[in-house]
Structure 1
């Protein structure tokens, strides 16, 4: 059995945070499962999808905020750092927090796939595993390549026990603690 990066990380979390601070705004770095990751700069369609989800959240749950590009401490023992496309949490959750915040209070994390070779590994697997390990109740993945919306929920035993996928255009109900319904028809305009 080959050891994972999480067992033998490339660097310490502290070293990663120093590198991330010195990185220009045109590059986004993450530290997932002990490995330094470069996250691609989003394109316009990516931004429009996040804005669409933000509007849905504001209309249905105004007491919550969808915090974009929020740095979260993820994975067991907080050994990972992810800059999420969106973190849904009660307004005020991140007051006084630094660049990398504890995910306690986060109800849902949103990721929108990018057009790069690492999307499958990063967004569909590694981040999912990091978010469940951090105890985040819902991971919403909007997959532009597959034209699907996947709702990972019911964390337990180191994985999300529910992970239904819906085609763009379907009505998707995000149950408690999120409590939002998404009519995903507009996503068809931003797919692939």
Structure 2
């Protein structure tokens, strides 16, 4: 008796979306992300954006209780949410304990396990950082999400991921310190943002 061949699975709309996203060729300096079913292409950031990221990275390297690695272009694969099979985000800064060597040998898109904190500085579309990415990072179980909201003049630290969101929020005006819990264990000085 001949065996019946198994049918080839029919690609879904999600499959086509992910395939199209991964095939994108963006202009140099631009980044493309797949966030909640939308392909978001972002132009190179302005100098104030980069200055804010530099301020965060320098303080983490100087003051964190645990030595940290930092990446400004690490693509993260985040769990399904909304309409998308997998979200793919590139945080402005991604931090992981140096002892994990999380970035060594990692593919351009890596799972988010082991990431201690991501940081975003708002640009042209701040709602994406305030809502969509917040939910993606929470679903990924990333312990800390630091958001520098230039439009609102505030720095917000979200912690204790639970389902689609973070259970704890601390928000301060530019110029006030933000307490970063372990493994960072120091107060982030935001005076340079004023």
TM-score exceeds 0.5: yes
1:42 aligns with 45
Equivalences for 1:45-64 in 2 at 5 Å?
45-61=48-64, 63-64=67-68
Equivalences for 1:163-174 in 2 at 5 Å?
163-174=169-180
Distance 2:147 2:13 in 1: 28
Secondary structure of the residue aligned to 1:163 is strand
Q: Which consecutive residues of structure 1, in runs of 5 or more, have no partner in the other structure?
A: 1-6
The answer to whether the aligner puts 1:183 opposite 2:189 as a matched pair is yes
Indicate if the aligned counterparts of 1:149 and 1:165 stay in contact, CA closer than 8 A.
yes
- Deviation for aligned residue 1:98: 0.8
Give the TM-score, by structure 2 length.
0.84
1:140 to 146, 149, 154: 146
Distance 2:29 2:180 in 1: 33
What RMSD over aligned residues (CA atoms) do the two structures have, in Å? 2.0
1:17 to 22, 42, 53: 22
Equivalences for 1:86-125 in 2 at 5 Å?
86-91=93-98, 92-114=101-123, 116=124, 118-120=125-127, 122-125=128-131
The total of aligned residue pairs comes to 177
- Deviation for aligned residue 1:87: 0.3
The answer to whether the aligner puts 1:66 opposite 2:84 as a matched pair is no
The answer to whether the aligner puts 1:33 opposite 2:40 as a matched pair is no
